[in-house]
Amino acid sequence: MNRNNTLRPVAAFLCLFSGAALAAGTIDEIVVTADFRERTASEVPASITVLDAREIEERSVQHFEELISTIPNFNWSGDGHRARYFQMRGAGELEQYQGAPNPSVGFLIDDIDFSGIGTVATLFDMQSVEVLRGPQGTRYGANALAGLIYMRSAEPTAEFNGRVELQAGDDGMLAGGFAVGGGLNTDDSVMGRLSAQYHESDGFRENTYLNRDDTNGREETTVRGRLKWFGGDAWTFNVAGLFVDIDDGYDAFAIDNSLTMLSDKPGKDAQQSTGASFRADFEGDLALTSITSFASSDIEFSYDADWGNDDAWAPVLYDYISVSDRDRETLSQEFRLLADNWLVGVYALRLEDDISTLNQGEYYDPGYDFADSLDDLFISDYTATNIAAFGQVDHDLGDITRLTAGLRFERRTTDYSDSAGLDTGPSDNLWGGEIAFSFDHSEAVTSFVSLSKGYKANGFNLGLAVPDEYRTFDSETLYNLEGGIKTILLDRSLQLNASVFISRHDDKQVRTSFQLNPGDPTSFGFVTINVEEAETLGLEADIRWLPVDNWMLYATLGLLDTEFTKVSAPSLDNLDGRSQAHAPEYTIAFGGSYEHPRGFFARLDVSARDAFYFDVAHDERSQSYELVNARVGYRADSWSTTLWARNLFDENYAVRGFYFGNEPPDFPNALYTRAGDPRQVGVTFSKEF
């Protein structure tokens, strides 16, 4: 594809800004809710991206993975159908975990913990998405070594309101949703909101063997409910509940790395989750917050392991499948006691994670008269309990300088057993925290410098083929030194945030794979190994400008230099001096929008991502790529119609890559990639009341 042709309409679109009116708009203050206290983004000494309801609606169609391209130094692994595993600043999981869930990136929806299972991140009726980059050692502990994603659904209000939304597009896409809410009693002390949405599409693949175009299809249902009530002058109560049923197919890999599938037994990437949270806030001389949450998830991850069929592999018989069923339940409780300039709290999390994996297959090569078969069932039970105590102090050191210091101590105990005879229960004592200085240079300019420590618990590896020296691995520590500036200038029409950071991982946990039997694609072994040291240097910046009324321009930039600096494990020799996986050296996004006073509107979003290593198990890399999304439409007082296009120029790009042998009879090693979504065009109708 000619990139000059791609960028030509972008340049033309941006040139239109020079002919707009003369009066500039103003930028609203952004409030961060993922921290201990609700604070404006300029008051939080950290690198943060906050997307409000308007941004979410204009940048996406259905799922959080569609927002990722606009977040600096953020990536995701296309190991499943939907984005489930995330990487911030090069740190994060890449594939389906086995045994002990141990995520690096925290993921919460309305205070309900879905860390490591982010498939449920649909976006209909979502009020905000907050991304906190860097270790959250004080606030969230072991599950947020690299950062935190906090999604908040639309909050109920006293005024009755609602919306209906219908969507249709190519790839067989149909979607419909509604939301309604308002006061539930005469004095508006009790408010509620209910929303529901259904989305389906074919999944951008054609299975020519089965003569189907929906083997990778999407079928996603989301129901959310919120209640809020005021108990007198001091108490506020919030209840959130959700039911999400992601029933997606999984037929995403082809031998020729195309969108044409040959599998005879396509799989599924399905997750059905039910969750609820209850939050009570008391406001007095001392404030008290209690947060209780519960979640139950039933997850199926299955795939045609040979990616083919009898005709494709003839005269060799080569037929393998893998089916995993996971049941996960979490129950958490947090209490906080807050004063004006300090807080203390305790936290407890109980996690139960049970999995059963069935691998079946058979192989026969008539040329060598060699036959093999597989029928293996693996069952495991895992329970973890995390108990933590934390505290934070905020202190003014003068008229313009503030000190923030936090500390968290966490005790994690586990209990694990499986059908292979492994019975273990490692425990760990962990601590992290931060110290930060903020400087208010003026009402419009704030800067900060911080030193933080994050941590990730120890664990163990599964499988009979795991060497004894790699049966267990140690906890990981991340030290992060960061400085930044946050400004809002030109009569609140220009906002600029920027930060630079340097971080060091000690005993960094990396997950690598190996194939036990070249003729068995289900025989992959996975092992987590500690790398002594890894370093990361980076920059993150975002700018938002309202140059004139009805116009908005934005840009985001992430620069990343990651390196494994000390590697002693012989099996990881290839990593010494190499960059980390899924850590592109640059992530760029820019664009703008225009709204005509008579209701017509347009928006253009462009993103670019550098090449990155697919994994630590090999040195294969992706290609750099650029994506263009566009919208045009008309908005009246209570309704709107939008024509949209994602990946407008049909860029071919990869979101995951494996390097192994999967083609009989010789099974030469080759790079197999999973492509991102191609161009999709659709229309959205929305009605508010």
Q: Whats the size of the chain, residue-wise? A: 689
Question: Tell me: the pLDDT tens digits for 229-247?
Answer: 998 889 999 999 999 999 9
Strands (E), 72-125: 74-77, 85-88, 105-109, 112-113
Residue 556: enclosing H or E segment and its boundaries?
A: strand 551-566
Distance, CA of 135 to CA of 410 (rounded, Å): 15
pLDDT at 514: 65
Q: Enumerate domains of the chain plus CATH numbers.
A: 3-688 (2.40.170.20)
148 three-class SS = strand
Express as a percent the part of the chain with pLDDT over 90.
80
676 three-class SS = coil
pLDDT at 515: 61
* 203 has pLDDT over 90: yes
Pairing status of strand 476-489 against strand 494-515? antiparallel
**Token pair 């006691």: residue:** 337
Distance, CA of 294 to CA of 521 (rounded, Å): 37
Q: What's the half-sphere exposure (Cβ side, CA atoms, 13 Å) at 238? A: 18
Dihedral through CA 96, CA 101, CA 105, CA 108, nearest 10?
A: 100
The pLDDT of 474-503, averaged and rounded, is: 96
Look up residue 308 and give its DSSP letter.
Answer: -
Structure tokens at 37: 């206290």
Structure tokens at 519: 């003729």
Average pLDDT, the chain: 92
The pLDDT of 36-45, averaged and rounded, is: 88
* 531 has pLDDT over 50: yes
Q: List Cβ neighbours of 523 (8 Å cut-off, separation of 6 or more).
A: 359, 374, 515, 516, 517
Cβ–Cβ under 8 Å, residues 164 and 681: no
Look up residue 621 and give its DSSP letter.
Answer: B
* 415 has pLDDT over 90: yes
Report whether the peptide linkage leading into residue 315 is cis, meaning its omega lies within 30 degrees of zero: yes
Question: Using H for helix, E for strand and C for coil, what is the string for 623-675?
Answer: CCEEEEEEEEEEECCCEEEEEEEECCCCCCCEEEEEEEECCCCCCCEEEEEEE
Structure tokens at 264: 């005879």
* 520 has pLDDT over 80: no
pLDDT at 35: 87
This prediction has a pTM of 0.93
Distance, CA of 199 to CA of 476 (rounded, Å): 39
The dihedrals phi and psi of 15, each to the nearest 5 degrees, come to -65, -25
pLDDT at 496: 95
Look up residue 122 and give its DSSP letter.
Answer: B
Instruction: Give the model's confidence band at 16: pLDDT under 50 very low, under 70 low, under 90 confident, else very high.
Output: very low
Distance, CA of 67 to CA of 83 (rounded, Å): 11
Strands (E), 283-400: 287-304, 317-338, 342-365, 370-396
Structure tokens at 85: 């595993």
pLDDT at 465: 65
Nearest to 248 by CA among 682, 679, 677: 677
Report whether the peptide linkage leading into residue 547 is cis, meaning its omega lies within 30 degrees of zero: no
Nearest to 451 by CA among 389, 498, 506, 403: 403
* 1 has pLDDT over 80: no
Q: List Cβ neighbours of 595 (8 Å cut-off, separation of 6 or more).
A: 550, 601, 635
Structure tokens at 412: 């994690």
The pLDDT of 290-311, averaged and rounded, is: 96
* 23 has pLDDT over 60: no
277-308: b (≥16 Cβ within 10 Å) or e: bbbbbbeeeebbbebbbbbebebbbbbbbbbb
Cβ–Cβ under 8 Å, residues 90 and 540: no
Nearest to 553 by CA among 589, 515, 507, 526: 589
The pLDDT of 423-449, averaged and rounded, is: 94
pLDDT at 450: 97
Distance, CA of 374 to CA of 361 (rounded, Å): 5
Distance, CA of 219 to CA of 246 (rounded, Å): 6
Express as a percent the part of the chain with pLDDT over 70.
94
* 33 has pLDDT over 50: yes
Instruction: Give the dihedral sign, CA 247/253/254/255.
Output: negative
Dihedral through CA 621, CA 622, CA 623, CA 627, nearest 10?
A: -160
Nearest to 198 by CA among 216, 231, 173: 173
